[in-house]
Amino acid sequence: MADGMSTGPGQKAQSEPVLRLRTDALDWLTVDKEVVVLDGEKDLYLGTNQSGAMLWRELSTGTTRTELVRLLVDAFDIDHETASRDTDAFLAALRERHLLLEV
């Protein structure tokens, strides 16, 4: 490449976006193995199941979709396709509620 940079096998030309939860007017806490969320901006109350709680905690510090899928595969011993589908559904629900930022 003209700029002196190259991508080798298995490397992406662009990195995956970092996914992070919106921080303004958003409070949450872990209860047992679930997360309870209060969106003060929209007066919305949400709850997650155990897998959603795991994803939520990772999103609170910033992560990628690939890392979230891997987390579900490892934690629940499920196949990659199922973990991908579940992760995408969870992320879509967060996007729909304007809780997710992509940087």
Q: Does residue 8 belong to any structural domain of this protein?
A: no
Q: Does residue 88 belong to any structural domain of this protein?
A: yes
Q: Considering its fold, how many domains does the chain have in total?
A: 1
Rounded to whole angstroms, the Cα distance separating 74 from 79 reads 9
Q: What domain range includes position 24?
A: 19-98
The predicted structure's pLDDT at residue 49: 95
pLDDT for 10 beyond 90: no
Phi, psi of 71 (to 5 degrees): -60, -45
17-44 per-position pLDDT tens digit: 999 999 999 999 999 999 999 999 888 8
The CATH number of the domain where 79 resides is what? 3.90.930
The predicted structure's pLDDT at residue 14: 62
